[in-house]
Amino acid sequence: MLYLGVNIGGTKSSVSLGKVIEGELVDLKRRHERPTKDYSYTELIHLFCQDMNQMLDDNDVSKSDVKAIGISCGNPLSSKNGTILSPPNLPGWDNVPIVDMIREEMAIDTYLCNDANGGALAESMFGAGKGVDNMVFLTFGTGMGAGIMANGRLVEGASDSAGEVGHVRLEDQGPVGYGKRGSFEGYCSGGGIAQLARQWVTEELQMGREVDMLKEHTIDELSAKIVCEYAFEGDPLALAIVDEVAYHLGRGLSIIIDILNPSRIILGSIYHRSGVLFETRMQEIIEKETLIFAREACEILPSSFGESIGNVSAISIAAYYAKQECK
């Protein structure tokens, strides 16, 4: 079965073509990425359709061979109405009926889902969560969101807001994430790690100490990637920042483990690249905070897909919802 996917990010977007045979994603082709903010939403959606048509032509595939199109995009959105509802990373995308727009131009069944839920579907169907009925996928990238699979079905909630774990407050004070100081996203996201790095580096400078990370970078350039690179090299300050993040990652995961009792938790992006830095401290906290029978039933793994997760998510959205329609 063939599916088309549209992955919409705040920085870049792309379309893909995936072939699924007997539950396996056997082929995934991606067309070149487009800078999202260079276009209005009407222009970009039209370009998505052009790119999908070109991809079909390039691969000698007719529209009748494509079962469905899946769209992955950040919240807020309405999967039921097929509408994007003003995501903070997509300024100007206000109440965009993207499903109707693409379905009208492509004449193929089209489905919309948020990126965290799409990630959960991707891992559940084709990745580290395959064969497991109860699992949670955490983005752990620019932000922190969760997609939840319970008894083999995606949990979406009454308003597509199930899994917004980044909004959970872990401390009264701390870095800001999801508009809330001390939140899970504030500590465990690319933006949160950058905030911690700038704060702790500033404190070191105020005490007259030299900071190795500033030998090649300005304080405003500090990012999760830079912190992890220096931590791998044994930099004491970078390791201290990572320890703080890992502590709160353990606390956040402990809440998820005790409430949802998943068989697997799969962490994307930052953990996919640098999980070894966080694992020991994270597990120490989980050991202290969780119920033993819930903890022993849960395995924590990095994402199978890394930077391709968005494209696989879009294909997975198409495959999952097309299957639901057939039931």
| 115 and 198 part of one domain | no
Question: How many Cβ atoms are within 10 Å of 47's Cβ, its own excluded?
Answer: 14
| 296 and 312 part of one domain | no
Identify the three-state secondary structure at position 14: strand
34-71: per-residue pLDDT in tens? Answer: 999 999 999 999 999 999 999 999 999 999 999 999 99
| 150 and 275 part of one domain | yes
| 287 and 150 part of one domain | yes
**Domain ranges, residue 200:** 135-303
Here the tokens at position 70 are 């899946």
Say if residues 309 and 316 touch (Cβ distance below 8 Å). Answer: no
Query: CA nearest 255: which of 319, 321, 316, 164?
Result: 164
| 298 and 311 part of one domain | no
Extended beta strands in 32-134, E state: 34-35, 66-73, 77-78, 83-84, 110-114
| 186 and 298 part of one domain | yes
Name the stretches of the chain with pLDDT < 50.
none
The span from the CA of 236 to the CA of 167, in Å, is 30
CATH code for position 18: 3.30.420.40
293-327: per-residue pLDDT in tens? Answer: 999 999 999 999 988 899 999 999 999 999 886 65
The span from the CA of 312 to the CA of 12, in Å, is 15
| 140 and 252 part of one domain | yes
- The model carries a pTM of 0.93
Q: How many domains does the chain have?
A: 2
